[in-house]
Amino acid sequence: MENKKICRVCKTVKPISQFLGVCKDCIRNFPDRSISYIKEVHEKARKMMNVPAFIPKDGEVICEICGNKCRISKGKKGYCGLTENIDGKLTRKIGNEEVGLGLVYKDPHPTNCTAVNWCAGGTGAGYPKYAMKNRTEFGFANASVFLGTCNYHCLYCQNVSWHDMIRDKAPLMKAEELTNLILEDKEYTCVCWFGGTPEPQIPFVWNVSRLIRKKVKQEDRILRICLESNGNFSWRWLKRIAKISLKSGGGIKFDLKTAKGSQLNLALSGVSNEVSYENFERLVKFHQRRPEVPFLRTSTLLVPHYIDLEEIRKITKFIASLDKTIPYSLLAFYPHYCMTDIGLTSRKFALECYKVAKEAGLEKVRIGNLNLLR
């Protein structure tokens, strides 16, 4: 489906998202002329969540939980909606080491993990140290922890239930209770932190993962720790959780939504991707320590009319320049949230992207969400 509208910048009829109102060419080539429209749509959408429209940059206190490094004024909140400046003091009642915002559910293997073609739970990679079987772990399950926060704001977000969570500040999870709930079920062989995304609540994610890891080491039990993220972490926290995940046999997936430094990231996700790419490079050394189960994984959602072959070519060349063994998933798009009018990813385009990724030299490439391709 082609949704042709008039771009608000170049005034040309093009296939674009009506909500965003600007074409990819203008976002790339005329960022100064596009930025006011981009800010307008993000502000409109985020108002419903009762969180700041933009990353605070002029306050007197700095939050260093994630890569946004909000500078928060007195009486105001950080971009994620959890950190506040109360009387000049940085305050965080949720998303600290003891209390998290989100919920957990049981997801039998094989899950829809983007790394399912290469991870221990999906393939038995690393058996018997990291996997219960030398094939797919049928009969076992993943503890899926859905977190109700994000430090990006994707106009096409596929998991918008976190919007209600951050607005209502519910449901809440206590670290000790969540740890015990996961440990008591012997069918769990991995824990996946996603959402939303883990970055804004990384102290909670780290603490629960640490407690789980401490217990399973005593029991000599397999329980992998995995994260699905946008990569916009504080390196201080990312380094701590990466060590736990690596030793457990799990991994960290970055959703590289656009090419490094692309203006499209700001337009589609409200935030620059510079920190995400810096962190991705830093994690390559972790990836290379454990070749039997790929640690660093990545994906890109193929958003029609915005993510094109130029973006995929740049993303895949970047990944290949670091390590050609990093798994890469090309994900078919489903119209959602503010971008319901741009249709599905075409099979032809997905296959072209696959070819580009292989030509870049990547060894592990897959197309995900095949049922959504048109």
Q: For 305-356, write each residue's pLDDT tens digit.
A: 999 999 999 999 999 999 999 999 999 999 999 999 999 999 999 999 999 9
23 in Cβ contact with 5 (< 8 Å): no
Task: Name the residue with tokens 């009018």.
Answer: 341
Average pLDDT over residues 138-156: 98
pLDDT-based confidence at residue 1 (cuts at 50, 70, 90): very low
Q: What is the pLDDT of residues 222-235, one digit of tens each?
A: 999 999 999 999 99
124: CB partners within 8 A, 6+ apart: 131, 133, 134, 135, 136, 137
191 in Cβ contact with 224 (< 8 Å): yes
Average pLDDT over residues 243-265: 98
Compute CA 300 distance to the chain's CA centroid, rounded to the nearest angstrom: 10
Q: Which two tokens stand for residue 49?
A: 């969540």
Fold annotation for 99-372: TIM Barrel (3.20.20)
Helix, coil or strand: residue 299: strand
CA 304/CA 45 separation, integer angstroms: 20
Portions of the chain given CATH number 3.20.20.70: 99-372
Tally of CB atoms within 10 A around 48: 10
Average pLDDT over residues 121-136: 97
- Looking at residue 314, what is its pLDDT? 98
CA 4/CA 1 separation, integer angstroms: 9
Does the pLDDT of residue 2 top 70, yes or no?
no
Helix, coil or strand: residue 301: strand
- Looking at residue 244, what is its pLDDT? 98
| Rounded alpha-carbon distances, angstroms, from residue 319 to 232, 242, 287, 312, 357 | 17, 19, 12, 11, 9
What is the strand order of the sheet 188-195 is part of? 172-174, 99-108, 141-147, 188-195, 224-229, 252-255, 296-302, 328-332, 365-368
Torsion angle of the four alpha carbons 335, 339, 341, 344, in this order, in degrees rounded to the nearest 10: -30
Rounded to the nearest integer, the mean pLDDT of the chain is 97
63 in Cβ contact with 72 (< 8 Å): yes
Task: Name the residue with tokens 């008591």.
Answer: 184
